[in-house]
Amino acid sequence: MSVGRAASAQPLRLRTETRRWGEEAVKAALALCAFISLATTIGIVAALLQPSIEFFGEVSVVDFFTERRWAPLFEPPSFGVVPLLVGTLSVTLWAAVVCIPFGLGAAIYLSEYARPGTRRTLKPALEVLAGIPTVVYGYFALTFFTPFLQELDLGVGVFNALSAGVVMGVMLLPTVASLSEDAMSAVPRDLREGAYGLGASKLQVSTRIVVPAAVSGIVASYVLALSRAVGETMIVLIAAGGLPQLTLDPREAVQTMTAFIAATGIGDVPTGSIEYKTIFAVGLTLFAITLVMNLLSIRLVRRFREVYE
């Protein structure tokens, strides 16, 4: 277009004389498809906000975040979300203990140590873990890993945060490994060759050159994995129990935000009751936390793409 303009000095008219209504209609239909995903977000926010505003009309926001007891059905009721937040934190912590070091280790191996052929088979094989439904992980945690922990005489209960967290960490391994490996593969070869030229060993190149150079991508993978841990429902619903306790003891049963929403939503709660509204107030808290984490992770990924691509 710019070439034509330069040659003829007069702007070229690229539009046809008559408008093509068919073409316009197609474009409008496609834009409508794209709008559905935007409408989803608007719908989520609207669905969460309206009952939440009603909820906070009855329960003060300060009480919600400072009361130390979550007992919406008790008499008198208490609406302190802190035990649910601590339950979520406890499970997320144990998931992080598994997926952060081992996810990074797997990524370093795949990116720096494995031969290309080995990498091509190992990476998809590891990603099988991400394809297993979460209800299956929940089953595994409850019927295999918890009994295994009980064999070890650690004093864990039938429902506990440790088992749910560790199994969730395994589920998140491919999330961390895959994204971190992408970031490490994007580090230019020159940096590695330069370090090798100065006599660095493979260990030194991996830990002092590649990992620091890929750090924003690695952190992005961590944030994304932890955001998934915070939002994961089935594993905690099945294996962590349903008791909103204010404890960080991994052997105890806890209730997370997601497990509370699911447990309350399963029953046929009457619309408009305070119990119904708690689903949305807790849901809004959960959505806000994961939204911040997701946006942070998206930002970090963009940064490493900008630097090396």
Partner 1 sequence: MSAATAVGVRSRARRGTVRAALFRAFLLLSLAVGFVALGALVADVLWKGIPYLDGILLTEAPSADPDGAGARPAILGTIYLMGMVLLMAVPIGVGTAIYLEEYADRERWYNRLLELNIQNLAAVPSIVYGILGLAFLVRGLGLGRVLLAGAMILTLLVLPIVIVASREAIRAVPDSIRHAAYALGATKWQVVSRQVIPAAIAGIATGSILALARAIGETAPLLLVGALTYVAFDPTPLGAFTALPIQIFQWTARPQEDFKLLAAAAIIVLLAILVTMNAFAIWLRDRYQRRF
Binding mask 171-190 for partner 1 (x = CB under 8 A): --xx--x-------------
Q: CB 74 → partner 1: shortest distance, Å? A: 23
Binding mask 10-39 for partner 1 (x = CB under 8 A): ----------x-xx--xx-xxxxxx-xxx-
Q: Does 62 bind partner 1 (CB under 8 A)?
A: no
Q: Which amino acid is at 284?
A: L
> Of 76 and 270, which has the nearer Cβ to partner 1?
270
Q: Does 135 bind partner 1 (CB under 8 A)?
A: yes
Residue of the chain from 90, 146, 163, 297 that contacts partner 1 (CB under 8 A): 297
Residue of the chain from 54, 89, 97, 109 that contacts partner 1 (CB under 8 A): 109
Site for partner 1 in 71-100 (CB under 8 A): 98
Site for partner 1 in 237-296 (CB under 8 A): 237-238, 258, 261-262, 265-266, 268, 271, 279-280, 283, 286-287, 290-291, 293-295
